[in-house]
Homo-oligomer: A and B are copies of this chain.
Amino acid sequence: MSGLQASALPTSARSLCARAGAPGGTAVTSASATLGHEASAAALLDRCRDRVRPALVEAVGRLHPWTGEMAAYALGWADPAGTPDPGGSEGKGVRQALALLGAEAVGADGGDAVPGAVAVELVHTFSLLHDDIMDADAVRRQRPAVWKSYGTGPAVLAGDALLAQAVASLAETPGPRTAAAVRHLCGTLTTLVSGQAEDLRFEERPWSGPGAVEPDQYRSMAEDKTGALLGCALALGAILGGAPDRTVTALDRAGRHLGLAFQAVDDILGIWGDPTATGKPVHADLRQGKKTYPVLIALAGGGRAAREAEALLASGRRIDGETAEHVAALVERAGGRTGTRDEALRQLDAARHALREAPLKHSAAEELDVLFTHLLDRTW
């Protein structure tokens, strides 16, 4: 499991919208009909990135020059020599966009959400930096991870600097809504770290028997590790935009469901994704023995294929080449792939439902829906 990743794959967005948006997600369909999803989502992300960029650059500029250099590399703004990398490996900036759209959806100006957008982008970058150390992931966005380029100690330091700057830059925002925003961000930070702890602990647990990881436990971990920050981005936008608590809560919930949907898609790609598109080897998550959603629901479902997959995974033998191919086939036969796909669709639907619960400005809510769809807009 590797959290959200930048990706620009051919899409299955239309079929996804048609299936998951059926109960009422018509906004997306109409936006899609006009502009095409990809184009409108890309324009949206660009607009938000442009709006946040000066404040983000300023926040990174306040770091010690050395940690600033590592941060610029992590953000895809520069190569390891510190040379600007304009064609680079910048993330999509999903979280900053969610923050801005969160404010606009509650009728405020997106600019009100900029300090929140900066904070969530910095927190996201911090978490990628430190998670790559913990997971020994050597590659991030097709480049060496920060710890690979600069060393583990410096990467720990750069993550710390980003985390500290994230909270500091939000806390320094003038205005009566800052305190609530900081509280929300801090709560998210503890949740995020707790989710990462739970994920790491899953590695030590058995594939079957009393201590085995249950799908619900996995879902709870993924909500903490991936969903909480997406929810926080929307919530910060709403808080800084002056929304009442109920609206903040609804947007936060929408983001959490979105995170769970994204994680489910990511887990499918981690096993069955096209290596040329994911940048990871085929069956990567199986080779690494990761306990991801498809495997867990396959095993939890029981049956002959599940038991055979379980025996192979628990054998301690290397899962590689043909064995990985075989385990992937068994997991699919035991319903792991379909089950995870259903989970993604359920969560996307729940995210849209949460949006509809809140009294949001129509145009911004439409844009949020476009963005939600775009995030799952990959071949899976």
Residues on A lying within 8 angstroms of B by beta carbon are: 62-64, 66-67, 130, 133-136, 152-154, 156-157, 159-161, 163-165, 167-168, 171-172, 178-179, 182-183, 186-187, 189-190, 192-194, 196-198, 200-201
New A-B pairs, 11, CB < 8 Å, besides A134-B154, A163-B164: A66-B197, A66-B200, A66-B201, A130-B160, A152-B152, A156-B159, A160-B193, A164-B186, A168-B189, A171-B183, A182-B182
The residue in chain B whose Cβ has the minimal distance to the Cβ of A183 is B171
Which residues from B are CB-within-8-Å of A159?
156, 160
Copies in the complex: 2
On whether the beta carbons of A164 and B179 are closer than 8 Å, the reply is no
Which residues from B are CB-within-8-Å of A156?
130, 133-134, 156, 159
Which residues from B are CB-within-8-Å of A178?
179
- Indicate which residue in B67, B168, B189, B201 contacts A186 across the interface (CB closer than 8 Å): B168
On whether the beta carbons of A157 and B182 are closer than 8 Å, the reply is no
On whether the beta carbons of B183 and A64 are closer than 8 Å, the reply is no
* Bound CA–CA A161/B190 (angstroms): 6
Q: List 15 A-B contacts (CB under 8 A).
A: A63-B190, A64-B198, A133-B156, A135-B153, A136-B153, A153-B200, A154-B200, A156-B156, A156-B159, A157-B197, A157-B200, A161-B194, A163-B163, A167-B186, A179-B179
| Shortest distance from the beta carbon of A325 to any chain B beta carbon, whole Å | 30
The residue in chain B whose Cβ has the minimal distance to the Cβ of A179 is B179
On whether the beta carbons of A133 and B161 are closer than 8 Å, the reply is no
On whether the beta carbons of B66 and A161 are closer than 8 Å, the reply is no
Which residues from B are CB-within-8-Å of A63?
190, 194
How would you classify the secondary structure of chain A's contact residues: helix, strand, loop or mixed? helix
Which residues from B are CB-within-8-Å of A134?
153-154, 156-157
| Shortest distance from the beta carbon of A224 to any chain B beta carbon, whole Å | 9
The residue in chain B whose Cβ has the minimal distance to the Cβ of A136 is B153
On whether the beta carbons of A193 and B157 are closer than 8 Å, the reply is yes
On whether the beta carbons of A165 and B190 are closer than 8 Å, the reply is yes
* Bound CA–CA A294/B134 (angstroms): 37
* Bound CA–CA A160/B165 (angstroms): 14
On whether the beta carbons of A182 and B193 are closer than 8 Å, the reply is no
On whether the beta carbons of A62 and B168 are closer than 8 Å, the reply is no
On whether the beta carbons of B133 and A190 are closer than 8 Å, the reply is no
- Indicate which residue in B64, B182, B190, B198 contacts A164 across the interface (CB closer than 8 Å): B190
| Shortest distance from the beta carbon of A179 to any chain B beta carbon, whole Å | 5
- Indicate which residue in B136, B154, B197, B201 contacts A161 across the interface (CB closer than 8 Å): B197
